[in-house]
Amino acid sequence: MENKGFLFTKKNYQLMLIGIAFIVSGFILMWGGGAADDTSFNPEIFSFTRITLAPIFILAGFVIEIFAIMHKPKN
């Protein structure tokens, strides 16, 4: 078997960066919503963004990462 160069191509690295951007943006969307002190409750922690949207972004990022690792060039 002949070694043809690097394992990943430029396309793989671009997809990996897109996946990392999705994961980081998902964690940023989950950030915040804490109470001002320990005795008060802030219902903002149960917002659509933190409960639904952010986990979707994180899971999509991991799916993109898996695809980026498994993607092979056509030649």
Tens digit of pLDDT for each residue in 12-71?
Answer: 999 999 999 999 999 999 987 776 777 788 778 888 999 999 999 999 999 999 999 998
- Report the pLDDT value the prediction gives residue 53, as an integer from 0 to 100: 96
CB 33 within 8 A of CB 45: yes
pTM of the model: 0.82
Other residues' Cβ atoms within 10 Å of the Cβ of residue 19 = 20
Sign of the torsion formed by the C-alpha atoms of 12, 15, 17 and 19: negative
